[in-house]
Amino acid sequence: MSDSVDNSNKRPGKEAFSISQALGGPPRLGHEENPYVNALAQFDKAVGNLKLKRGIAEMLRYPKRELSVVFPVEMDTGEIHVFRGYRVHHSTAKGPTKGGIRYAPDVTLDEVRALAMLMTWKCALMNLPYGGAKGGVLVDPKKLSRRELERLTRRYATEISILIGPDRDIPAPDMGTDAQVMAWIMDTYSMHSGYSVPAVVTGKPVEIGGSLGRTAATGRGVVYTIEEALRLKGVDPKETTVAVQGFGNVGTVAAQCCAESGMTIVAVSDSSGGVYRGDGLDLLALNRHKAEAGTVVGFRGADQVTNEELLTLSTDVLVTAATGNQITSRIADQVRAKIIAEGANGPTTPDADEILVNRGVFIIPDILCNAGGVTVSYLEWVQDLQSFMWPLDQINRHLRNLIVDAFHSVMGCCDVHGVSNRVAAQMLAIQRISDAIAIRGIYP
């Protein structure tokens, strides 16, 4: 019998059934917005173009380990509120796991599973010595006082401390969390250890071992990939219009870096809505308006647009830097951008992706486009481990080199195999993880 298998997953075997049962049954199929269903669909499509050793494909479809915790937090009123949190490790084949922690009221285990899987592929694509992880707490951080947020964070950090560590699993900020949250996690872990352990998290303040350039890294990396895509297509950045969905940290930095590269930002949006101006927005004035109003909506001299209308504007580049599942099959035919840069994780569903690719839209997939954050997190981790910090220009130079190398590796895979950018990116990543597993061997 051949070592290779049919990886189309049309005929799940006994192992697949047992693992699925252990996970509480398979995710509900047919729901385009289920992130884990979408991650598995992308995985299966990529694996269909690979020749993996028997069992490896099935192994990589599921997380290595999952932790679900329920914990109490004392609120400022003296009441006790109970919260649920997760930490999921997808793969440890290439090293300790790496991935953010998000605080959001709608976090689900399927979402965390999907994001952990995407982190595995992202780290492998960037050739970082990590596997993928993700964490989350079901909470709206905007409804907590600072002290309540700190108590929740320290209790959650204590609950997941059985998994995290500088050589085991290194969390980072994500939606709803920031450098301060990472500082609390680092301090909590250090108190348990009896000494300071800065390398247990990344994305923390510079004053306690954080890296210069980390806050802007994801947005900056998005623009590095856009610049390479424009160069590949022979398009002058000064003749390029850009719309940015999601004007948070990633979108704000991406818009600013695009403008510095000569591109014209014609539209931006946040959770409340968006603004459009055909001859370009004044980003300095827009940032001042958002700081005062809390939203880009109402910015003078610009037309108001909805988030969905922004997605369908006639622009050269669309940066999707909000949340997942923004471009679905329902609106994919209406998207008119020539290039889509996925600053968020999973912003395009598999059905929409197929429609867009068939229409000739150039998609820079999430595991490549927004990999700047984890790349500089890796550089921060290295600096912490050696207790030697680097200047900003060195960090940005490393970031650009790694992003550009990964971009051209993906383009080369596209040319060789005749597949889409997303499939090529995942093929490269999955093959690297598979190779690591094969070289390490199966214990015992």
What are the pLDDT digits (tens) for 28-45?
Answer: 444 677 999 999 999 999
Q: Does 221 have pLDDT greater than 70?
A: yes
Strands 317-320 and 303-305: unpaired
Of the candidates 357, 281, 351, 290, the residue with the CA atom closest to the CA atom of residue 313: 281
**DSSP, res 332:** G
Q: Which residue has the higher pLDDT, 16 or 61?
A: 61
Q: Find where tokens 């109003």 sit.
A: 293
**Would 65-208 and 217-369 be classified into the same CATH topology?**
yes
pLDDT in tens, 121-148: 999 999 999 999 999 999 999 999 999 9
> Residue 161 CA to chain centroid, in angstroms?
23
Mean pLDDT of the chain: 93
Q: Exactly one of 45, 94, 98, 134 is catalytic; which is it?
A: 134
Average pLDDT on 231-259 reads 97
Give domain 65-208's CATH superfamily. Leucine Dehydrogenase, chain A, domain 1 (3.40.50.10860)
The 3-state DSSP class for residue 136 equals strand
Other Cβ atoms closer than 10 A to 387:
9
Between CA 409 and CA 412 the distance in angstroms is: 5
Dihedral, CA of residue 436, residue 114, residue 317 and residue 405, to nearest 10: -10
66: confidence class by pLDDT, cuts 50, 70, 90: very high
Mean pLDDT of 305-311: 95
C-alpha pair distances (Å), 99 with each of 130, 132, 134, 166, 188:
9, 6, 5, 13, 18
List 81's β-bridge partners, or say none: 73
- Domain 217-369, what fold? Rossmann fold (3.40.50)
Domain boundaries, the chain: 65-208, 217-369
Question: Which residue type occupies 260?
Answer: E
Whether 134 is catalytic is yes
